[in-house]
Amino acid sequence: MSTPSPPCRQQGAAKLTLANYADGVLGWNRAILARAITLIESNRLDHQEMAQELLARLLPYTGRAIRIGLTGVPGVGKSALIEALGCRLTADGHRLAVLSIDPSSVRSGGSLLGDKTRMVRLSADPNAFIRPSPSGLVLGGIARKTRETMLILEAAGCDVVIIETVGVGQSEVSVASMTDYLLVLMLAGAGDELQGIKRGLLELADMIAITKADGENVSRAKLAASKYRFAMHLLHDGQDVPIVTCSSLDGSGLDEIWRIIVARTRDRERSGALKAQRSAQAVKWMWSLVDERIHETLSQTDSIRRVAEDSERKVRDGVLSPVLGAQAIVRALRWSGMRDAGCTEELAAKAGG
């Protein structure tokens, strides 16, 4: 007699229907939730179609979480702070999701995806869900499907979603386009702190936290906080941005960080600013998807790809200007769209195609 497979293996091997995915997500089945996110991240056409149907079904259950972007230089203690703060939140009855974006290798395209190993306690918490994802060489410190994944997690009942980005850089302001609150972590005692300010990022920062403020580093952290407080006062035209010191080791400052985030979120909810911000983010997301689809069309449509490759070759050889090359590609895109709509070449020519 053959030995039956363990139930977990049978479930993992089973093909899930759209209803299975939706029920599993809404019922906080973390195994199905993980598979739903994998479906979202898949590049297969049939998976993409099913993922969009799933998102449409779950959309009424989204939008109820506090969305926090968290960034900082490598070694600042992002994972340690998330685990320390996250364990406090789940102990208070919150359901927490962490989207941890790992940088992809420029050479191989791979990622380590090791954040769950750095948050051992939180990974084992039944009210927490940690999902490491590769950035896929996407600028902005976020993964390609971060927005869709965040919606899935909100539908699953997560009332706090933290997006941990790959590090600090001018391109990372993208995380502010999908979160309600941007928390920037900084180190003290690592040289001139003010030299570490990235203007584009800190103009969007809602709070700066000086980490590792424990032991002999407490005085350095307080000094760094005073410097950042002065700099941010100037950068934000006299408006004060909260500057706090904290320690993931002894827990100091963590309650203050959460209190400030909650107070700011409630104020913005009452004023309508939060709803307006999320509406603007949704529109920006739509246009970013338009750009993405255009680039996909360039590579997936043979006639357009040939024009694009020919234009690229001529621009590289210096026989065609970049402007004329771009115009040739746009004409090919326009004609392809008009042809799909049933237009003849004569009508396309009259329309400027």
Domain layout of the chain by residue ranges = 1-60, 62-271, 280-350
Is the pLDDT at 141 greater than 50? The verdict is: no
Low-confidence winner among 182-191, 196-205, 261-270, 340-349 (lowest mean pLDDT) = 340-349
Q: Enumerate residues 6+ apart whose C-beta is below 8 A from 47.
A: 39
Is the pLDDT at 301 greater than 80? The verdict is: yes
Instruction: Write down the pLDDT at residue 314.
Output: 94
* DSSP tally for the chain: helices H, then strands E: 15, 7
Q: Which two tokens mark 43? A: 């590049």
Nearest-angstrom CA–CA distance, 201 and 69: 12
Instruction: Write down the pLDDT at residue 166.
Output: 67
**Can you tell me the mean pLDDT for 312-321?**
94
Instruction: Summarize pLDDT for 323-343 with one digit per residue, the tens.
Output: 999 999 988 888 776 665 555
Q: Which fold has domain 62-271?
A: Rossmann fold (3.40.50)
Average pLDDT of the chain?
A: 82
* 134, 137, 141, 146: CA torsion to nearest 10: -50
The CA-atom distances, in angstroms, between 59 and each of 175, 203, 270, 282, 287 are 21, 31, 23, 13, 19
Instruction: Assign 43 a pLDDT band (cuts: 50, 70, 90).
Output: confident
Give the type of residue at 163: I
What is the CATH architecture assignment of 1-60? Up-down Bundle (1.20)
Choose among 155, 161, 87, 162: nearest CA to 126.
87
Nearest-angstrom CA–CA distance, 172 and 157: 27
Nearest-angstrom CA–CA distance, 98 and 101: 9
Choose among 252, 179, 180, 244: nearest CA to 207.
244
Buried b (16+ CB within 10 A) or exposed e, 213-222: bbeebeebbe
Instruction: Summarize pLDDT for 149-182 with one digit per residue, the tens.
Output: 999 999 999 999 999 886 655 446 678 888 999 9
**Can you tell me the mean pLDDT for 129-142?**
62
Nearest-angstrom CA–CA distance, 56 and 94: 25
Q: Domain 280-350 carries which CATH code?
A: 1.10.287.130
Instruction: Write down the pLDDT at residue 63.
Output: 93
H-only helix segments in 96-178: 115-118, 120-123, 146-155
